[in-house]
Chain A
Amino acid sequence: MGTLIIVLTYIAYVFIVVVYTVKVLAWLRMPPHIRWDLYPVIHEEHYRYGGSYYEQQEWWKKPRPKNTWRSLLYSLKDNFTMGEYYERNRLYWLFLFPWHIGFIFIITFHILCFFAAVAMYGGLDIGAVSAHLAGRVFYYVLLCTGGIAFIAGTFGSLGMPIIRLADRGLRTYAMPMNFFNYLFFFTVYGSGLLSWLVLDPNLDEYRTYWLGLITLTAPALHTMTLIHIILFDIFLIYLPFTRSTHYITRILAYYFIRWDDEPNLPGSDLERQIAGLLGRKVSWEGNHIPTGKSWAEAATERGFPEGKKEKP
């Protein structure tokens, strides 16, 4: 069983990283689009009230300062706080927030476990009474992240189906997959919670498990912990089939769509890209469109506005 756990875990991590990467690259490889920015644009100087560089005369002659760090912090902060939900639907936020915190913390917990195992392999003793400060810090940080993940995730997984059924709008758009996810995620977090509370209050077994992973040695684990780890591995494999990539793509959408205020200045790379896109053929069949011609031709050709049938 220990060997199976190691193999399954590696497969799960490789799978999620590969599929997430493919999805993100596919997102990024879509062609540049027409500008569709929406204000406030957080990197703008006057972002507090939503102002843009268009508030200046002859804006193309003026500097356009961009505060990229501010916009990055803004988008990351929202991944954690979900402030818009807190403001607009607090009851929903009450369950959605722990549901997401559970997700973020359980991933963080496992990443930290990896580093803890590396440290243990290097000789560090990790525990509440470790001789090393780093060992004690690791111990408490792992205890906190794991504990928060299990408690928040279990609470969120229980609350989400309730709010989805109770709220009229959410209920209208509910689908069987939502409830499957809640149930499945509840078993993942719940098994971890149970294992922690009943068998492994110091979360020692996860460090043993990760040490086994990096040394390729089958770890000896309690059945309850094993069940949780198998469920967690399946959870990792399942995630790419859900909308969970939104943790990444939402930030891309902010940067490449909502906050994309890059002007097309003469002679720029952007202008060259657009010139290429205008050379692509259109196959739309409306009467006013010359099907089969390029965008540039369709946009400049005379006679078509009145329809193909009326064309001499």
Chain B
Amino acid sequence: MKKEMKIDEFCRPGEQLAEIDPAEIIPLPPPYDRIEKAPIRKLAEEQRKRMDASLDGVVAIGLTPPASPEEEKAFIEKFLAGLEKLFSADDNWTFLQPLTHTLEYCVKCQICSDACPTYLASGRQDIYRPTMRPEILRRIIHTYVKKDHLLLRKFQGSDIDLNWQTLARLAELAYRCTLCRRCAQVCLLGCDNALVSREIRKVFSQQMGIAPKELHEKGSVQQLRVGSSTGMTPAALKNIMEFVEEEIEEKTGRKIKIPVDKKGADMLLIHNAGEFMAWPENLEAFAILLDAAGVDWTLSTEIAGYDSVNYGVWYDDIQFARVAIRQSMAAKSLGVRKISLGECGHAHKAGIVVADRVLTGDLNIPRESILPLLEEIVLRGRIKLDPSRNNFPVTLHDPCNMVRLMGIVAPQRRILKQICPQFREMEPHGVENYCCGGGSGFAITQSTNFPDWRSAVSGRMKMKQILTAFEDVPGPEVKKYLCAPCSNCKGQFRDMFEYYGVWEKSGILYGGLVELIVNAMTNLKKPFIQWEWH
């Protein structure tokens, strides 16, 4: 039985607060039930000296300890100044109301803990409770911002000793929540403890310039500078399109010219640029399908116009707004009627929903998901499909951003039921789904041992769900397909499947939705899905 953690321990300098114990994390079905190695690599001594890992021995940010008491004091003061801005209607109108509501009205009843896949999968480590981050933040606010009297703080349990390590742990802890918002979904009081994780990230980024480099320097900054968070320039994009066209011809015998920068097209389709680099078959499938269905569409080569990601949605409002505006400007310059988002969950939520209250005037171009169009193509018979071509077990992963956070639940299911005879649901599914474990930027965060953590802990509940969905055909001899209509989720599945050896042990291939549709097209001579490319 784990030692019970007291909140005050969070501020105690020195020792590591929690350790992931292989015997306590939730068990997986055979053959994944054998504990063969420590789930998370230990940091080297040199790394531990350089980066603070006193939360759980894992590093997403890895803050360097201050060199002097003066440096520590300056760090704390800057954080507190940022904290005040979090409650300013000028600096934080974007989230003031939901944040204030959560901090004032959460009664810490712990209902949300039992909904959190990270907390559950970790073997119920106290530090991962969704209430931990808000509680630390609340205490800092009462003690150092509102400066409540000591007696009142003792009475309300809101007293805290602030030091550099408390903030270093808090910064790391903000990156142990995938922002899947399952916790918020079950809260009877309308509180959203996941949002508090995001707002803590915001203070660190907008006030102190601290964020995982995959999100900021190599993420949103790079996207605004060169056009894509992958580093892909417009020239490189054109080369990739040529490659994709050749691949399509090789696979299908068809010559398809992918429309790029087509002025006045009906629809600008924006993909997550990760697809261009890691899963070009998704682009190929889109090109084949939209061509066959006669859709008037185009890609863009403008800055941010060919990369739908918007990492700002996870950590920084200003970066978020900048990317959203550049994406809309790309559509405006082409004169398209609407923007459609490809298979990427967070890009859906960011571009369609969150950007809705950032874009005004002529930048407020209508934006929609590609899924309803795919549904129409499949269900209205705009192309001929043969479901027997997909006669293998298929299950569906619901990307949190697309499903729980914006209510696109049915179109993908109607498609799969139409074209996949062996489709089966995971449990729970739809708006109650579990996160893939790579949400809120985790799937791209490669810092030290963080990838181990997201495979072993934050993604473990999803891993269990996937294996359970295929429990009637567990072995690798039956090839199975995990449909994940989200680039970020696919990135997590790629790493997690490798971590657990899923292809070798279970024969599960992950991929998008559109690949399954194209795989069922009757006029393709050979199957589109290539199992050997697992």
Contacts and interface: CB of A to CB of B under 8 A. Distances in A.
Interface in B114-150: 114-115, 126, 129, 131, 135
A204 to B, nearest CB: 37
Contacts of A50: 403-404, 407, 409, 430-431
B157 A176 contact: yes
Interface in B162-198: 181, 184-192, 195
A177 B154 CA distance: 9
Given A32-B357, A55-B407, A305-B224, A177 B91 contact: no
A311 interface: no
A99 to B, nearest CB: 12
Contacts of B221: 288, 305-306
Interface string A54-83: 111111100000000000000000100010
A282 B190 CA distance: 28
B192 A85 contact: no
A300 interface: yes
B364 A253 contact: no
Interface residues of B, number: 96
B318 interface: yes
B208 A49 contact: no
B78 A44 contact: no
Contacts of A286: 205-209, 316, 318
A280 B325 contact: no
B37 interface: no
Contacts of B94: 33-34
Contacts of B114: 88-89
A258 B5 CA distance: 32
A296 to B, nearest CB: 9
B318 A33 contact: no
A172 B97 contact: no
B110 interface: yes
A54 B408 contact: yes
B366 A289 contact: no
A226 B77 CA distance: 52
A46 interface: yes
A287 interface: yes
A284 B158 CA distance: 26
Interface string B407-421: 111110000000000
A176 B361 CA distance: 52
B325 to A, nearest CB: 6
Nearest to B2: A168
Interface stretch (B98-106, B257-265, B284-292, B467-475): B98-106
A256 interface: yes
Interface stretch (B22-30, B81-89, B482-490): B81-89
B98 A46 contact: no
A78 B188 contact: yes
Interface in B346-404: 352-354, 356-361, 364, 366, 368-369, 371-373, 376, 403-404
**Consensus secondary structure, chain B interface:** helix
Interface string A197-224: 0000000000000000000000000000
B430 A257 contact: no
A264 B365 CA distance: 11
Interface string B221-243: 10011000000000000000000
A271 B206 contact: no
A172 B409 contact: no
A85 B109 contact: yes
Contacts of A258: 184, 190
A84 B371 CA distance: 32
B406 A284 contact: no
Contacts of A299: 318, 321-322, 325, 358
A168 B4 contact: yes
B131 A176 contact: no
B184 A88 contact: no
B97 to A, nearest CB: 4
A115 to B, nearest CB: 30
Contacts of B354: 34-36
B282 interface: no
Interface in A19-57: 27, 30-41, 44, 46, 49-57
A277 interface: yes
A56 B81 CA distance: 44
A58 B376 CA distance: 12
B479 interface: no
Contact of A44 (B192, B208, B407): B407
Contacts of A280: 89-90, 93
B403 A305 contact: no
A174 to B, nearest CB: 7
A274 B357 contact: yes
B186 A34 contact: no
Contacts of B207: 284-286
A130 interface: no
B300 interface: no
Contacts of A34: 94-95, 317, 354, 357-358
A254 interface: yes
11 contacts: A36-B95, A36-B354, A50-B404, A89-B110, A168-B4, A169-B113, A173-B108, A253-B98, A278-B358, A282-B90, A286-B209
Interface of B: 4-7, 78, 81-82, 85, 88-91, 93-98, 100-101, 104-105, 107-111, 113-115, 126, 129, 131, 135, 154-158, 181, 184-192, 195, 205-209, 216, 220-221, 224-225, 316-319, 321-322, 325, 338, 352-354, 356-361, 364, 366, 368-369, 371-373, 376, 403-411, 430-431
Given A55-B407, A85-B188, A288-B216, 10 more contacts: A27-B101, A38-B181, A57-B368, A251-B190, A253-B191, A278-B360, A284-B207, A286-B206, A286-B318, A295-B318
5 closest Cβ contacts across the A-B interface? A52-B407, A175-B157, A253-B190, A50-B431, A299-B321
